[in-house]
Structure 1
Amino acid sequence: MTLDPRLRDEILATVPSLRAFAMSLASNADRADDLVQDTLVRAVANIHRFEVGTNLNAWLFTILRNLFHSEYRKRRREVEDADGSYAARLSVPPEQGARLDFEDFRKALAGIPLDQREALLLVGAEGLSYEEAAQVCGVAVGTIKSRVNRARSRLAQMLSVEQGEEFEPDSATKAALQGALGS
């Protein structure tokens, strides 16, 4: 089967966004890369199911999300360093303030419920509309809005951010974010 070059280019253009979403779900660069690769393989294998003229990004994000949840269900029965003590011994705390802030953010993000986290990432990080995010997650638009609001409130509480404080990262934090999400 030959893939239309325009459709192939559209799919490839989504890879950075897919990877960022996978990274935020999996919190592991290798696993995120595997998720993106599995998503692309599954998308190409099932390209006949894609309806031309519909939202390709939403279709690909849905495939990635479903792959992640399938694996998550399988892994939840496994116990892997539940308290993080082994991983803590292997890592060296970062020395830069921006890196520490980013790690605090990642930990806080990982601490919010998965449904809220994915809604926040789809709307806030990936720039999907509430309607598109609702389509990806298979829920009502109001549910997505509620999840995003709860996620934002919970993050603000966990990071001790006061009402009205600026959320815009400084240049060092932006560089750390780009390096972490782009690696």
Structure 2
Amino acid sequence: MTSFDPTLRDDIIAAIPNLRAFAISLSGNVDRADDLVQETLLRAFANLGSFRPGTNLPAWLFTILRNLFRSEYRKRRREVPDSDGAFAATLTSNPDQDMHLDFEDFRAALDTLPPDQREALVLVGASGFSYEEAADICNCAVGTIKSRVNRARRRLGEMLAIEHAGDFGPDMTTRAALAAAERG
């Protein structure tokens, strides 16, 4: 076994939650995402010699994960056991809270984005990578990432009927009730 800096191991472990979130956004399936993260970690540890100290470790890990997902996608693209979602729809239950419904609406809208836009938005918007880091991960120009993020945000806003920041949060009825309670 090759010896390496123990802080590197700690940094890899610290990246797991963000890797998992990214894997879930790519695959749309928690179990598949966990498998992707596990395989990413195995490959990262097996190839630590190819990591250049002083470079961006999370970007290196996200690139491994993205490449694994793309390879898996190419292998599985002919597998479509539930293409119309009919079976999956029988497994869902209606949520009790509006926030959960809002999240489901967001998730459904996010899933309709083209993969390159969804990937860029998740990297920049949810995982906190800079445009430059996301461009490195996706192996494209910074301007391309900015364009993809902008198009993704605009499209999500259209699909979710969000015109300005005030549209986030409670619905109009709940806001009115809260305002009345504050006055009363």
Q: Same fold (TM over 0.5)?
A: yes
Alpha-carbon distance, 1:78 to partner: 1.3
Identify the range of structure 1 (68-77 vs 50-59) with the bigger mean alpha-carbon deviation: 68-77
TM-score, normalization by structure 1: 0.89
Identify the range of structure 1 (1-10 vs 26-35) with the bigger mean alpha-carbon deviation: 1-10
Mark the CA change 1:136 to 1:167 in structure 2 (over 3 Å): closer, same or farther: farther
- The residue type equivalent to 2:32 in the other structure is R
Alpha-carbon distance, 1:165 to partner: 3.1
Partner of 2:73: 72
Partner of 2:52: 51
Query: How far, CA to CA, are the matches of 2:84 and 2:60 in structure 1?
Result: 35
Q: What per-residue deviation string (whole Å, max 9, x for no partner) do you get for residues 75-107 of structure 1?
A: 111112001010101111212111111001000
Partner of 2:10: 9
Is the CA contact 2:162–2:168 (under 8 Å) kept in the aligned structure 1?
Answer: no
Partner of 1:166: 166
Partner of 1:35: 36
Query: How far, CA to CA, are the matches of 1:83 and 1:117 in structure 2?
Result: 21
Partner SS, residue 101 of structure 1: helix
Query: How far, CA to CA, are the matches of 1:73 and 1:159 in structure 2?
Result: 31
Q: What per-residue deviation string (whole Å, max 9, x for no partner) do you get for residues 17-52 of structure 1?
A: 111111111111111111110000000001100000
- The residue type equivalent to 2:125 in the other structure is G
Gaps of 5+ in 2: 171-184
TM-score, normalization by structure 2: 0.88
User: Highest CA radius of gyration, 1 or 2?
Assistant: 2
Partner SS, residue 40 of structure 1: helix
Query: How far, CA to CA, are the matches of 1:139 and 1:166 in structure 2?
Result: 34
Percent of pairs with identical residues: 66
Superposed, 1:119-130 pairs within 5 Å as: 119-130=120-131
- The residue type equivalent to 1:157 in the other structure is E
Q: What per-residue deviation string (whole Å, max 9, x for no partner) do you get for residues 120-174 of structure 1?
A: 0000001100000000000000000000000001111111112x2336556xxxx
Q: What per-residue deviation string (whole Å, max 9, x for no partner) do you get for residues 44-85 of structure 1?
A: 001100000000010000000011111111111111200101
Query: How far, CA to CA, are the matches of 2:29 and 2:166 in structure 1?
Result: 28
Partner SS, residue 61 of structure 2: helix
Query: How far, CA to CA, are the matches of 2:90 and 2:4 in structure 1?
Result: 47
Identify the range of structure 1 (93-102 vs 127-136) with the bigger mean alpha-carbon deviation: 93-102
Partner SS, residue 86 of structure 1: helix
Gaps of 5+ in 1: 171-183
Instruction: Considering Cα pairs closer than 8 Å and 6+ residues apart, tell me whether 1 or 2 has the greater RCO.
Output: 1
Mark the CA change 1:64 to 1:166 in structure 2 (over 3 Å): closer, same or farther: farther
Query: How far, CA to CA, are the matches of 2:55 and 2:81 in structure 1?
Result: 40
Matched pairs, number: 169
